[in-house]
Amino acid sequence: MKWVISMAKKIIIVGSGITAITAIKSIREIDLDSEIYLIGEEKFYPYTRIKLSKSLFNNLEENNILIQKKEWYEQNNVKILINTKVMNIDSDTHEVSLCNGSKLNYDKLLIANGASNAVPTIDGINMDGVYTLRGLNDALNIKERLTEGANVIILGGGILGLEMAFILHEHNIKVTIIELCPRLMPRQLDDKASEILKSKIQTCGIQILTNTGVNKIIGTNNKVEGILTNENVELKCDIVIYSTGIKPNMDLISDTDIKKERGILVNNKMETNIKDIYAAGDIAEYDNQVIGLWNIAIAQGKVAGYNLSGRDAVYEKITPVTMLNAFGISLFSMGCIEESKDTKILLYEDINGTSYKKIFIKNNKIIGAIVIGDARRSPLLKSAIEKELPLDGINLSTIAVDELLDKLKR
């Protein structure tokens, strides 16, 4: 296959995460000559965010978690500007304005500045001792505050909150998890799977309050001393860490004509409605979804990079996969797990509650799965979902879950 490559003279990439780095790699596969500017708001070189919680008690330094070594940028002719915020985009003049008052012109622009953790609207959320974990600075601040015998309340029972709870528990720190919804990981698990997970976590000595809101974070002299729940129960703590969803960083495009809803609207080439402007990763909304997962950020960055360099590439939807391996339990959730009249469900649960498998089938194809205790099945199910593998010749009314999974191997 041949591509007609139209080289851009100058490509600006706003954002310094995995989406941006993947885009640069794709560009440099094809185009070695164009100028590339990578502009990041943080004072660090691009690093691996998903390592932050796991590395909290290790040697948490920038150089240990970099996506690429610092010399990589010079080797790939990338001009990197760290600690630099893009204030405005002028699509008419093809310019971006920087926080230092200077301007840079571009031929093509990729917006890949990601998302931030959503800040709950709780009285006292800005107190000293309240944190979230999104960036390296957050991790360093949390680490500095943690002391032996600390008492931590985590707001949010999603995957990030649970990972944080686990790493703290592993280091003998008392943890309480508070989740507003009736169950843990409400977007990825059903009631039964969440019940199994909750039971396993509680066995570790961690208190979990589901269906519980927080009315107020309390303290004296602006320093956290506890929280007040929506049932007026006071819980003491030294530190509050919230993880209650993400919010795409949309301020950059507020004065532009770039179309947005929850995120920046893009097509399957990661193009926005404005010529020569692309978006990818946690900032991008494709097919009514802002997913915020590492593997999807990589895939979108790759497609954006190819199209920025003139090679035609199309983003094919990737099955969202969430995995947790903590508290002595391994689980994964993938694809569509919404029950409806059109969905056939195959279910297996052992009497000890340690293994649980729920397969969602629609139009004779697997569309989603929740599995606890058998992580090795994950690639098999992911492949079946993405390939839309037809389950022809299989009697779904009588087949057992493991029997179906065995047939998928063939």
> What does the DSSP assignment read for 249-273?
--GGGTTS---BSSSEE--TT-B-S
**Distance of CA 353 to CAs 67, 280, 357, 372, Å?**
39, 40, 11, 9
Q: Look up residue 292 and give its DSSP letter.
A: -
Give the per-residue pLDDT at 353: 73
The answer on pLDDT for 176 being more than 90 is yes
Q: Are 274 and 329 part of one and the same domain?
A: no
Query: For residue 360, what is the domain's CATH number?
Result: 3.30.390.30
Give the per-residue pLDDT at 7: 55
Q: Are 141 and 237 part of one and the same domain?
A: yes
Sign of the alpha-carbon dihedral angle for 243, 118, 337, 404: negative
Query: Which residues are bridge partners to 271 per DSSP?
Result: 278
Q: Which of 86-95, 97-106, 218-227, 389-398 has the lowest mean pLDDT?
A: 389-398
Dihedral (Cα; 21, 25, 30, 36), 10-degree rounding = 40
351: Cβ contacts below 8 Å, ≥ 6 apart? none
CA distance 341 to 392: 21
**Over residues 250-267, mean pLDDT:** 96
Q: Are 220 and 262 part of one and the same domain?
A: no
Give the per-residue pLDDT at 319: 86
Which domain, by its residues, includes 177? 130-242
**Distance of CA 322 to CAs 185, 303, 338, Å?**
10, 22, 15
**Over residues 31-49, mean pLDDT:** 96
Q: Are 134 and 237 part of one and the same domain?
A: yes
The answer on pLDDT for 4 being more than 50 is no
Give the per-residue pLDDT at 2: 42
Q: Which of 124-133, 244-253, 370-379 has the lowest mean pLDDT?
A: 370-379
Q: Are 70 and 88 part of one and the same domain?
A: yes
Split at pLDDT 50, 70, 90, the class of 410 is low
Give the per-residue pLDDT at 3: 46
Give the per-residue pLDDT at 8: 61
State which H helix or E strand residue 284 sits in.
Answer: strand 284-285
- pLDDT > 90 in the chain, percent: 82
**Over residues 365-376, mean pLDDT:** 91
Total count of domains within the chain:
3
Q: Which of 41-45, 49-53, 138-142, 208-212 has the lowest mean pLDDT?
A: 49-53
Give the per-residue pLDDT at 5: 46
Indicate the average pLDDT of the chain. Answer: 93
Report whether 52 contacts 148 (CB < 8 A): no
Q: Are 51 and 15 part of one and the same domain?
A: yes
